[in-house]
Structure 1
């Protein structure tokens, strides 16, 4: 009898969780005006929940150009991290995933089709799975009240039983393969204020048609920031993840494991971070200049040519970040006092080689015209906590998506769309 009661209770609990997929939230959209630049900012999430955008190495907007994917740690009824989608026009928010094991920290939005991919990690050491969501079918199901049937989901494949994810995953340019970073063995927990513990890592490939997996390569360090070339199939960029300054940060490899090589060989006084593809043949990254020592060499947002190694320097603001806000930086590598030079921290780029963007240590976001070198201050004061702004361009370059602690004094993040005043391909 007791077993029967427990079974019914568990079934009811599972049904309650499953009912969360397709759950909609009223619009939180509002417009605020930047007090310095005068630009209107479209606030999509109000900061009442703990929301965050996808990391800037990956697309933010679905292929339909209307829906933005994001994660939230407390919007679901069971308070577990889940995936949500917000309509940029109407502001309506819809829950896309539910239940335990959803890796909401690594969401892949397809560029060629209106689909989304995410990992679900099973309990009790069972193998995890890669899930595909057809957004068009999803929204039809939501409109018809049929989201619970999950006919819009497909299990692409099952990961190896002992797979330990690290560095996220990415879709190849032809969207035929996913590449997933992994640890070769379990790493110790990272301690507050300490570097990321190092264990050997690697890359796994999964065929999106049949779910078959293969190992691309193994490396002697912690894998990070896995991202495929968005315009040229068969190239994967990754980094040596230390949580700070790595001896050689950026690496690139072919999909068959060949031609594994460093990108931008580093000197001892170079601090490289926040790399992403700028187009099929270039990588944009930050050569940090937040200390006087680092400023003794050229620093700023840089673009390196993957084919011949030539460099483009997009500049560096000569500023000192606000010493009164230094407590927001938990990284012991971030200096204080007279060493607090600041400068650019993260970057964004349009694939037409025309525009870039960067945030600085005070949470200001700048637009950079790569042809003229001109720099425009777009928006200001986006408290770089509880996380950084991480700007990302829309596909047409007219907007930047950022996450900001401005509205909550750094307690929670809001998703904000910033107009750039430019369009990809404009002259």
Structure 2
């Protein structure tokens, strides 16, 4: 074979390699520290190439139980998840056969990953789902030595969910790792388990979403037993579990925008269903996330102009069409700053709500989170700015900026378990202004040194 033909064949093999690659495939480190162009904060980019990277949603853990790896979505191997070692920058493929929706990292009992996926080759019924556990410790160990085994040595299917459930990738792992909660879209199944006479909610808002009924189910991770948790008369979204308190869930009424009542909580046995934060008709509540055993952060948005009022800081035609949500007509007089808005924190036990902070103008804080020790809160805004709040003093600073309003998505900040850093996704390095990378932002040392 000629040198030219050999070279062409090698190029073809390399181009197709990701499609053939198995779990444990490794990629070279892309780790790089870049000063923030606005604030000077040192940003540690764990990925720097345009490969379709996206972090796990901020309502869920991002780091493995040992704190060494972050797991994220990527097109390095299309449809598979990747882990990056925060110290070395090594990248490892950690799923094989695909996943759907949320990626769930256990926070105790070793490094494990849980998710739903379509049943491979499943009799032509695309509504059947498998629940999968990945032993990440074995993946990392064998990948490091280059001695990978068949995928069954690392992935375990612990349940197959029948088509009638229409299970979907909104899911969460309980704090003790015993139960895996998932969303049920099967209206016949969910409706049959509603109390008699329950009014089914129709679509709400201009996006035609929000109609029910939906339900939450759970699977025993060890035995595969499937149980019904609760049915509700509306569309469910963003199921999440309390990472410190087993058997406690938060979920949303999903409309694609303003909901009649966005946030809900329920126990893992189906009892205690109630609104988490009872909202007023004019409030636009969104992006709730557990930030401790007793607390949930959420955003009360102030992103929309007051009807009939000309705001000089929001010139006509410069709203945010296409770049940010919530600007279309049909949501009513909601999400304005005529009433208090900001990063709110709800105590699950006392039911009291406090507002930790809010930007003085603009969209306000959008995706929110907090350190597990109760010291700090963080939020992003429509400009992709990252704001850090000292919950004790209410001081707020712009921690990081320059992440490009053209980015494919928002930064979605999430605190690390030790409260010393924040993971985001950023388009700062992208040539097209859209592709995003995985980035870790430190909490300033002088803030960490403050007295509690």
Task: Provide the TM-score with structure 2 as the length reference.
Answer: 0.80
State the Cα deviation string for residues 166-201 of structure 1 (Å, max 9, x = none).
Answer: 461111111111110121249xxx9xx834363421
Match among 347, 355, 370 for residue 376 of structure 2? 355
State the Cα deviation string for residues 328-360 of structure 1 (Å, max 9, x = none).
Answer: xxxxxxxxxxxxxx1111111112111110111
In 2: Cα distance, 1:424 partner to 1:61 partner: 24
In 1: Cα distance, 2:416 partner to 2:347 partner: 23
Identify the residue that residue 443 of structure 2 maps to in structure 1. Answer: 420
Would the alpha carbon gap of residues 232 and 351 (structure 1) be closer, same or farther in structure 2, given more than 3 Å must change?
Answer: same
More divergent stretch after superposition (202-211 vs 306-315) = 306-315
Deviation at 1:162, TM superposition (A): 2.6
Would the alpha carbon gap of residues 349 and 200 (structure 1) be closer, same or farther in structure 2, given more than 3 Å must change?
Answer: same
Deviation at 1:164, TM superposition (A): 1.9
In 2: Cα distance, 1:50 partner to 1:93 partner: 14
Identify the residue that residue 273 of structure 2 maps to in structure 1. Answer: 260
User: Which residues of structure 1 form unaligned runs of 5+?
Assistant: 1-14, 321-341
Identify the residue that residue 115 of structure 2 maps to in structure 1. Answer: 118
- Counterparts of 1:41-80 in structure 2, within 5 Å, are 41-72=43-74, 74-76=75-77, 80=78
Identify the residue that residue 314 of structure 2 maps to in structure 1. Answer: none
Q: Secondary structure at the match of 2:394?
A: coil
Would the alpha carbon gap of residues 424 and 277 (structure 1) be closer, same or farther in structure 2, given more than 3 Å must change?
Answer: farther
Task: Provide the TM-score with structure 1 as the length reference.
Answer: 0.84
Identify the residue that residue 326 of structure 1 maps to in structure 2. Answer: none
Match among 29, 36, 44 for residue 31 of structure 2? 29
More divergent stretch after superposition (240-249 vs 33-42) = 33-42
Q: Does 1:224 align with 2:248?
A: no
Identify the residue that residue 270 of structure 1 maps to in structure 2. Answer: 283
Identify the residue that residue 89 of structure 1 maps to in structure 2. Answer: 87
Kindly indicate whether the alpha-carbon contact (under 8 Å) linking 2:54 and 2:425 is maintained by their aligned counterparts in 1.
yes
How many residues are paired up? 381
- Counterparts of 1:274-285 in structure 2, within 5 Å, are 274-285=287-298
Identify the residue that residue 311 of structure 1 maps to in structure 2. Answer: 353
Kindly indicate whether the alpha-carbon contact (under 8 Å) linking 2:210 and 2:254 is maintained by their aligned counterparts in 1.
no
Q: Secondary structure at the match of 2:303?
A: coil
Match among 147, 164, 171 for residue 166 of structure 2? 164
Kindly indicate whether the alpha-carbon contact (under 8 Å) linking 1:52 and 1:403 is maintained by their aligned counterparts in 2.
yes
Deviation at 1:153, TM superposition (A): 2.1
In 2: Cα distance, 1:289 partner to 1:414 partner: 28
Match among 408, 411, 429 for residue 389 of structure 1? 411
- Counterparts of 1:294-305 in structure 2, within 5 Å, are 294-305=336-347
Q: Does 1:107 align with 2:108?
A: no
